[in-house]
Amino acid sequence: MLTQLFFFIVLLTLIKKFAWGPVMNMMQKREEYVANEIESAEQSRKEAESAAKKAQAELNQVKQEAQKMFEDAKNAGAKQEQDIIDTARKEAERIKQQAQAEIQNEKEQALQALQDQVASLSVLIASKVIEKEINEQDQEKLINDYLKEVGEER
């Protein structure tokens, strides 16, 4: 048993001298590697979070710009619509005034033509009355005939 104890102690000493150091070095390297990987993963996570925040901020900015563009286009459309309506109203008013002026001109021309016709008829009647030297009843009959004639010409 003492020999076994002796060999066990020798074995432990040999293991400590030759195996324990390399095993501990390998374990320490492994621990450093894992720590570096954890640190690298943490750094990558922080960078990913930072990139996600930046992307979200850019997305929000793009959304705001798009909303502003939409509002601007909507306002421009409403302004253009109002301009078109105003232009159409002005054009309708101008056409209405022009039509009224044309109606007034036509009315004046018709009145002038009627006055000319009445004047020529009056002259004609007067000349016929003078020619015939007729009495009052014949004169009334002649005027009524000419008025009927004028009424038929219209």
Q: What is the pLDDT of residues 18-71, one digit of tens each?
A: 877 788 888 899 999 999 999 999 999 999 999 999 999 999 999 999 999 999
CA gap 141, 146 in Å, rounded: 9
CA gap 111, 148 in Å, rounded: 19
CA gap 120, 126 in Å, rounded: 10
CA gap 3, 5 in Å, rounded: 5
Which residues contact residue 121 at a Cβ distance below 8 angstroms, ignoring those fewer than 6 apart? Answer: 146, 150
128 with 142: CB under 8 angstroms? Answer: yes
pLDDT band at 72 (very low <50, low <70, confident <90, very high): very high
pLDDT tens profile 81-137: 999 999 999 999 999 999 999 999 999 899 888 888 887 878 777 777 666 655 667
Q: For residue 120, give the nearest of 100, 97, 78, 149 by alpha carbon.
A: 149
Number of H helices, E strands in the chain: 3, 0
Domain definitions of the chain by residue range: 24-153
